[in-house]
Amino acid sequence: MKITIIGTGYVGLVTGACLAELGNDVFCLDVDQRKIDLLNNGGIPIHEPGLEEVVARNRAAGRIQFSTDVAASVAHGQLQFIAVGTPPDEDGSADLQYVLAAARNIGRHMDGFKVIVDKSTVPVGTADRVAAALQDELGKRGDAAAGSEFAVVSNPEFLKEGAAVEDFMRPDRIVIGHGDSPAGLRARDLMKVLYAPFNRNHERTYWMDVRSAEFTKYAANAMLATRISFMNELANLADRVGADIEAVRHGIGSDPRIGHSFLYAGAGYGGSCFPKDVQALERTARQYDQELLILRAVEAVNDRQKQVLGRKVVQRFGADLAGKRFAVWGLAFKPNTDDMREAPSRVLLRELIERGASVAVYDPVAMEEARRVLALDLAPEQLEKIDFKAAPMDALHDAEALVIVTEWKAFRSPDFDQIKARLKNPVIIDGRNLFDPAQMTALGVEYHGIGRSVLT
Ligand code: NAD
């Protein structure tokens, strides 16, 4: 099928590359000329395991192209996927300007039946706004195409950054919301053909109305964020009462109604999705005169949890950190990505530096992106306090402690003798509970996890 993807970011590029891999003819559009030039020169703007190979293979086969040409992008695909960003507005609600701009572009250039597929995460009711914006542009046209038909479907994306290609190719589920008009049913049939390769062994598609599909994405992210904040809140209590949240996690996760996944205490959730989607769902509720009390708490707990590592440093080393140096492993908001959006490391670095410390940092892939975002977060003289190191062990020299923020695999079995030899004090403050406290004690490491201060 001929497909256009509008927005070539994490979701758009992965969607485009994976649909091309299945034999479709994909046109990826972006407004960012640098991104398009990079892709046309064989580069990849994001770190995502396996993506580079899929993009290269399909570029070579002529199944995927990258362009900033809006008219050509609209002409190309009968299916027009909108995968642009929906960042939080000033009041926390989703900013739909990019989505609506994409819809208007389609209305300006379309010539014949189109299916607009909302893949961006958008509040309930957005499909109607997309249809209205598109129709408005169509109405301004004096040509024969002004009467062109279209349908807007909702097809929210559930991929996880760091495993996006795998998630897209082997989805748990595909959610598609469509209308019941003739155009809506025609759109449903086209979506059925597009996603048929994913449903060969068993049906993974959940067909529903558009609003329910839009809501499903927010409900999923809100539930996942709730599990994280729930565990973080219990972990903070575990620290007080002298219990080990990891033992508690195993103890409750074995109940199939609860399950083990996504039940980890840590340094708070970040990324481009959970923070903004929880906020946006709350704002939607307020528009309908309802208050989502649980989600307000989820957000408040997370804001506090992002400060947990800074708090643990202060508890151990005092409020004045002037002249002290700390090593930080992990900057990305989670492993296997270079995404620094809302990363807890940003909160920690700011706090350490504002308290007078200097910091040596290492991340396997997010160093370049970290330099970019930290330059926005911090004043130039604060940025100078950050030493970007080429290897994890290089960050440890003369540091008072090692603070672990992201659970990269490479951090899971480090050489503890080397760590002890390089650090000024053998102290590890572990925001991801990577190690066993008893083993750390046996190795002579003073270990501070999250919710693991067991009384002995
Ligand atoms: P992103 O910022 O990585 O990419 C968005 C791209 O859209 C950018 O390259 C931008 O230049 C481009 N763009 C903006 N306006 C445009 C326009 N009018 N025409 C063409 N291109 C335009 O964002 P992302 O992380 O891919 O997220 C996209 C959407 O998918 C968001 O709604 C997000 O919530 C949702 N989502 C993201 C993830 C994730 O893990 N990142 C997962 C599921 C859903």
How would you write the pLDDT of the chain (456 residues) with one tens digit per residue? 999 999 999 999 999 999 999 999 999 999 999 999 999 999 999 999 999 999 999 999 999 999 999 999 999 999 999 999 999 998 889 999 999 999 999 999 999 999 999 999 999 999 999 999 999 999 999 898 889 999 999 999 999 999 999 999 999 999 999 999 999 999 999 999 999 999 998 999 999 999 999 999 999 999 999 999 999 999 999 999 999 999 999 999 999 999 999 999 999 999 989 999 999 999 999 999 999 999 999 999 999 999 999 999 999 999 999 999 999 999 999 999 999 999 999 999 999 999 999 999 999 999 999 999 999 999 999 999 999 999 999 999 999 999 999 999 999 999 999 999 999 999 999 999 999 999 999 999 999 999 998 765
Where are the strands (E) in 120-217, listed by range?
150-154, 174-177, 205-208
Q: In ligand 1, which atom is closest to the CA atom of 105?
A: 18
Same fold, 2-208 and 224-448: yes
User: Is residue 218 annotated as involved in ligand binding?
Assistant: no
- At residue 455, the pLDDT reads 66
* CA of residue 421 to ligand 1 center, whole Å: 44
Distance CA 242, CA 450 (A): 12
Contacts of 199 (CB under 8 A, 6+ apart): 174, 205
- At residue 456, the pLDDT reads 55
Q: Which of 354, 311, 312, 348 is nearest to 333 (CA)?
A: 348
Pocket test for ligand 1, best of 10, 13, 68, 340 (most atoms within 8 A of CB): 10
ipTM exceeds 0.90, yes or no:
yes
Q: Is 224-448 assigned to CATH 3.40.50.720?
A: yes
User: For residue range 38-97, what is the model confidence (pLDDT) as tens digits?
Assistant: 999 999 999 999 999 999 999 999 999 999 999 999 999 999 999 999 999 988 899 999
* CA of residue 309 to ligand 1 center, whole Å: 30
What are the pocket residues of ligand 1 if the criterion is a CB atom closer than 6 Å to any ligand atom?
6-12, 29-32, 35, 83-86, 98, 101-102, 120-121, 157, 159, 161, 272-273
Examine the residue annotation and report whether 18 is marked as an active-site residue of this protein. no
The catalytically annotated residue of 273, 359, 370, 374 is 273
* CA of residue 295 to ligand 1 center, whole Å: 24
Pocket test for ligand 1, best of 69, 73, 154, 272 (most atoms within 8 A of CB): 272
Give pTM, 2 decimals: 0.94
Q: Which of 79, 77, 149 is nearest to 116 (CA)?
A: 79
Q: Is residue 172 within 8 Å of 158, Cβ to Cβ?
A: yes
Q: Are strands 2-6 and 79-82 parallel, antiparallel or unpaired?
A: parallel
| Torsion angle of the four alpha carbons 411, 414, 420, 423, in this order, in degrees rounded to the nearest 10 | -30
User: How many other CB atoms sit within 10 Å of the CB of residue 332?
Assistant: 28
Please, is 52 exposed, middle or buried when counting C-beta atoms within 10 Å of its C-beta (0-12, 13-18, 19+)?
Answer: middle
Domain boundaries, the chain: 2-208, 224-448
Pocket test for ligand 1, best of 13, 29, 30, 70 (most atoms within 8 A of CB): 30
- At residue 453, the pLDDT reads 86
Please enumerate, as own/partner, the contacts of 390-395 that have beta carbons within 8 Å and a separation of 24 or more. 390/362, 391/362, 392/329, 392/362, 393/418, 393/419, 393/422, 394/360, 394/362, 395/327, 395/328, 395/329, 395/360, 395/361, 395/362
Which residue has a Cα nearest atom 18 of ligand 1? 102
User: Is residue 266 annotated as involved in ligand binding?
Assistant: yes
Distance CA 11, CA 334 (A): 17
* CA of residue 87 to ligand 1 center, whole Å: 9
Give the SS3 label for residue 114.
Answer: strand
* CA of residue 416 to ligand 1 center, whole Å: 40
Fold observed for domain 2-208? Rossmann fold (3.40.50)
